[in-house]
Structure formats: C-alpha cells, structure tokens
C-alpha cells in the first residue's frame, strides 16, 4: 500500500509516492518541465489560473502511475502542500471567478495597511500575531474595492491548496494553519477572526468550513477520479502551506527547531512553543501544522529576499562561465573574512527583516590591489550566511531558543563556506536531509490516518546526507560578522 503527496507551487507541481509501511519515498514526478507562467498585468502584480495547477497536477499523477510499477488501487490517500498566501475565489458552481492573486503579488499592501489601522494595531498583533499585510484577506478586500462585480458573485474564497482539494473532492474546506497564513485566525480565541472580517466588511459565510490540518478533509469524487486516474473515495488527510510543510518534511515539529531554505530567496522557519510576538513587523507568525490551543506550535517565518539570487547573479554576470562548484572551490582558497571584502545581499526588493528597506545590494571594502574573483565569491557566500545569522538574532529576540537547524538539498546549503559560517556563528549543527514537500505531505497524510505514530516515525528512513558542524576557532568568523553588521548599520542609517 502507498500514499500520494502533492506539492502545488507557482513554478511547478510535484507528486510523490511513499511506502505505507515505512514512509520510504518510492517515486517523484514534476509538471511542467518549464516553469508555469505568472501573469503580471501591472507592475507588482502576479496572477495564475487555478485550473492550470489542476491541469499539471493531473498530468503529473498520470506520469507517476505510468512510470512506476504501482497499482493505483493501492493508493490509500492524499496529502497536500501548496504555495502560501494566495487568493482563489469561486462562484456557486465552484468555478474560479478570476485568476488567483498569488503570493508574489503586492497590490494589496496599501489595503492591508488601512485594515491594520482600522482594526486596531495592538489588537491585530495580540490576536493575529501579524498585521493583515499583503496576505489573503487583504487581497480579498482589494477585490471587493476594485472588482465589485466579481466580489458580488463570490460563493467562497480560499487558498491555493483549498482549491486543489475542492477540485479533488467537491468540498470547500480550509484549515486553522491556512487561515493563519491568510491572517484570519484569532490565536487568543482559537477561532476564525470574525471581528477582522467585520472590520473589512466581508461576510464570514464566504469562509470555507474549517477542519484540522491532520484530518479527513474530503475524498476523491467520481469526476476527479476520471480526470486524475486516482481511485474514487480515497481520503484527503492533510494539507499545509509550503513553508510549514517544508518544516514538517524535515521533521521540524518542536520548539527551537529550525527549517532553513536557501533558494532564490532564503527562509528561516523556526518553531516557538508560546503564542505571541515581539517582532510583528519583521517576522510573520503562523499556526504550525501541529498547533493547538493547548499545545502551541507557532511557526516564525523570516524571509531574506536576496540570497541565492545574489550568488546566481554573480555567477552569471561575473563568474566567467564557472560552475557553482568551481566558484565554491575558488572561494575556499580565500581566508575567513575575505580579507575585508563585504557583501550585503539585499538587492531583490524590499526586505521585511530590514523594516522593508529597499536600497539595493552593496559591495564594501573592495581593494583593487588585493581582491580577486575568489574573494568576491567568498564574500558573497559569507554575506548571505551573515544575513541568515542576523535573522536568527531577530528570532532570539522573539524568544526562540535555537536547538537545531535542518535544510533540504539545495545549492547554498551544500556550499561549505555558507553552511559552515552559519553553523559556527549560531553554534548549532546543520543537517542536510534529502526530501521534498510532496514526500512530506504524503507522510503527513499517512500519519493522520494512523499508519505512523508521529512524523518522527514517518521520516525515520531519511538519512542526513551532509552535516555541517561549528568550527572550533570561531574568532575570525565573529570578527568578520561584526564588521559586516557595522556595514549593515551604515547601510540602514543612510
């Protein structure tokens, strides 16, 4: 018997099978091979057709069944992960009324700011742990204000994962974790923030039924079975946004544990065991997949826009055709601290962790007689690592006591300079685990069903592919980091 997991991204859709006995990954497929298009009718907008996700999901499921020796009748159920913060609106026939306004769309920033003030800033921070910001509710409010004809026809609004579950089952259902990422969950009352909906002038009846992240959330309908090739009646047992699900996939479920990502942007997702926030403008706080009022698990999400994209820019523009591995090897020839060369990797838009500063990246301390390309490669990696450590210092102010860091198999965390610098300065081990969000979603569904005692048992077959440990001599790292922080202070003050 097997479980199937879906990961609905804005670039592609991934589908995975796991063994129901030991959680071992059996197969992973992805569609499309090239990235899905994002429509941007105006500067700062980002939209996708929700049925495009469905089309590629059906194709990926078909590839998985065709390319692997599995009897689809052995599929026990479904777990679902999805791109966070998006908005999908459907009519009474459960058809999308407009393209989805996805996570990278910034049109609702002003709408969220107005709602923050109207609802009461202290009340929002105390109960929501965030401002409404540019999240799902603010995007819905934007539709109300700017597309009144569309708004009048809305039967339900939902997150991207809720829509895929709707296509699978015909049921409109969401989760507390999903509502919290849309800034719609009142943590003090442990329920939908109906007072915020009232302030926004939005009917609470537009919210789907709420069920726990680990629970029966519908079953594959005959129509969906015909389109996907899945058996009729298999249950949807789990859903979560991509960052909480990434943490779950890495086994990050308890306070002090961190799931880190070093892709185009960087994410530090830390778990706290208490409800509250001291850094509402720099960190987003969401209900983790295993959160409950009696056993709080709050995911503290800190995003750094300019990480992998900075190193990619240096490779493409200044690398002279070198591969990342070649750049990393050249960087190893330079001592810790890059002989005074410093890089601030903040050139990919407004940085929330820097109070939305958007001043571009900077190279500091460049000496034409001393520094060569390997210095720049090392300084770039160190600068990204320093930005992660700086973010972790913000998390410590938030009350997170860091106990461990886990990361997936991405290029940055495979770079010894990058990961070693973080491990040394944070005085924490970093373990690299080979897994995917689709695999994690399948394991979570199996756990919800009862095939596994907990996520720890479901992920027991995973091994640490690479481990980074703190260097014994941290002095040069600390000196370089303090110098970098002084440069950051100057950058922010000017």
80-110: pLDDT as tens digits: 999 999 999 999 999 999 999 999 898 999 9
Mean pLDDT of 165-179: 97
Q: How confident is the model at residue 18 (pLDDT cuts 50, 70, 90)?
A: very high
Residue 243 pLDDT greater than 80, yes or no: yes
Residue 285 pLDDT greater than 90, yes or no: yes
Q: How confident is the model at residue 424 (pLDDT cuts 50, 70, 90)?
A: very high
Q: Give the pLDDT confidence score for residue 263 in this predicted structure.
A: 83
Q: Bridge partners of 351?
A: 357
Least confident among 44-58, 206-220, 356-370: 356-370
Residue 409 pLDDT greater than 80, yes or no: no
Q: How confident is the model at residue 403 (pLDDT cuts 50, 70, 90)?
A: very high
Q: Bridge partners of 287?
A: 298
Q: What is the mean pLDDT of the chain?
A: 95
Residue 410 pLDDT greater than 80, yes or no: no
Q: How far apart are CA 33 and CA 45, in angstroms?
A: 24
Residue 129 pLDDT greater than 80, yes or no: yes
Residue 414 pLDDT greater than 90, yes or no: no
- What percent of the chain shows pLDDT beyond 90? 89
Q: How confident is the model at residue 57 (pLDDT cuts 50, 70, 90)?
A: very high
Residue 358 pLDDT greater than 90, yes or no: no
Residue 350 pLDDT greater than 90, yes or no: no
Buried b (16+ CB within 10 A) or exposed e, 295-311: ebbbbbbbbbbbbbbbb
**Can you read off the two tokens belonging to residue 430?**
């970093």
Say how many residues make up the chain: 494
Per the rule left: phi > 0, alpha: psi between -120 and 50, beta: everything else, 224 is alpha
Residue 318 pLDDT greater than 90, yes or no: yes
Mean pLDDT of 286-314: 93
Query: Quick count: other Cβ atoms within 10 Å of Cβ 145?
Result: 14
- Pairing between β-strand 430-433 and β-strand 404-407 as defined by DSSP bridges: parallel
Mean pLDDT of 448-459: 96
- What percent of the chain shows pLDDT beyond 70? 100
Structural domains of the chain in order of their starting residue, each with its CATH number = 2-243 (3.30.420.40), 251-434+463-494 (3.30.420.40)
Q: Give the pLDDT confidence score for residue 44 in this predicted structure.
A: 87
Q: Structure pTM?
A: 0.92
Mean pLDDT of 361-374: 96
- Cβ–Cβ < 8 Å for 53, 228: no
Mean pLDDT of 50-63: 97
Q: Give the pLDDT confidence score for residue 492 in this predicted structure.
A: 92
- Cβ–Cβ < 8 Å for 326, 347: no
Residue 8 pLDDT greater than 90, yes or no: yes
Mean pLDDT of 227-245: 97
- Cβ–Cβ < 8 Å for 142, 191: no
Mean pLDDT of 120-140: 95
Q: How confident is the model at residue 251 (pLDDT cuts 50, 70, 90)?
A: very high
Closest CA to 491 of 334, 383, 333: 383
Q: How confident is the model at residue 405 (pLDDT cuts 50, 70, 90)?
A: very high
Mean pLDDT of 40-69: 95
Q: Give the pLDDT confidence score for residue 70 in this predicted structure.
A: 86
Residue 411 pLDDT greater than 80, yes or no: no
């Amino acid at each position: 018997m097997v479980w199937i997991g879906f990961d609905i991204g804005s670039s592609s859709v991934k589908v995975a099978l796991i063994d129901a006995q030991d959680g071992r990954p059996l197969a992973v497929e992805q569609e499309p091979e090239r990235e899905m298009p994002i429509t941007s009718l105006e500067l700062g907008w980002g939209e996708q057709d929700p049925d495009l996700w469905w089309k590629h999901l059906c194709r990926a499921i078909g590839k998985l069944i065709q390319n692997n020796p599995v009897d689809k009748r052995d599929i026990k159920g479904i777990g679902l992960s999805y791109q966070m913060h998006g908005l999908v609106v459907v009519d009474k026939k459960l058809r999308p009324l407009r393209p989805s306004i996805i996570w990278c769309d910034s049109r609702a920033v002003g709408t969220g700011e107005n709602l923050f003030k109207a609802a009461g800033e202290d009340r929002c921070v105390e109960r929501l742990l965030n401002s409404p910001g540019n999240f799902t509710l603010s995007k819905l409010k934007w539709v109300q204000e700017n597309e009144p004809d569309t708004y009048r026809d809305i039967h339900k609004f939902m997150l991207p994962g809720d829509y895929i579950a709707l296509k699978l089952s015909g049921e409109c259902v969401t989760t507390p974790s999903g509502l919290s990422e849309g800034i719609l969950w009142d943590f003090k009352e442990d329920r939908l923030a109906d007072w915020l909906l009232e302030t926004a002038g939005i009917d609470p009846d537009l919210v789907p039924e709420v069920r726990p992240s680990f629970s029966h959330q519908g079953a594959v309908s005959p129509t969906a079975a015909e389109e996907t090739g899945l058996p009729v009646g298999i249950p949807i047992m789990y859903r979560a946004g991509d960052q909480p699900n990434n943490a779950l996939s890495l086994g990050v479920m308890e306070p002090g544990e961190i799931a880190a990502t070093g892709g185009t942007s960087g994410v530090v997702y830390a778990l706290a065991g208490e409800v509250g926030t001291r850094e509402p403008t720099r960190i987003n706080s969401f209900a983790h997949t295993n959160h409950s009022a009696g056993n709080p698990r709050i995911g503290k999400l800190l995003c750094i826009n300019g990480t992998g994209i900075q190193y990619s820019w240096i490779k493409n523009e200044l690398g002279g055709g070198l591969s990342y591995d070649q750049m990393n090897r050249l960087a190893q020839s330079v001592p810790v601290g890059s002989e005074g060369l410093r890089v601030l990797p903040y050139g990919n838009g407004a940085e929330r962790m820097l109070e939305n500063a958007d001043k571009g990246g900077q190279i500091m301390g460049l000496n034409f007689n001393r520094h060569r390309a390997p210095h720049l490669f090392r300084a770039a990696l160190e600068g990204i690592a320093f930005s992660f450590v700086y973010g972790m210092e913000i998390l410590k102010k938030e009350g997170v006591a860091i106990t461990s860091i886990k990361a997936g198999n991405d290029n940055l965390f495979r770079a010894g300079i990058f990961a070693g610098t973080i491990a040394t300065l944070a005085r924490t081990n970093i373990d690299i685990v080979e897994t995917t969000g689709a695999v994690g979603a399948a394991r979570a569904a199996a756990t919800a069903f009862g095939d596994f005692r907990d996520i720890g048992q479901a992920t027991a077959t995973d091994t640490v592919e690479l481990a980074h440990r703190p260097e014994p001599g941290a002095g040069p790292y600390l000196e370089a980091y303090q110098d970098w922080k002084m440069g950051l202070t100057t950058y922010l003050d000017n």
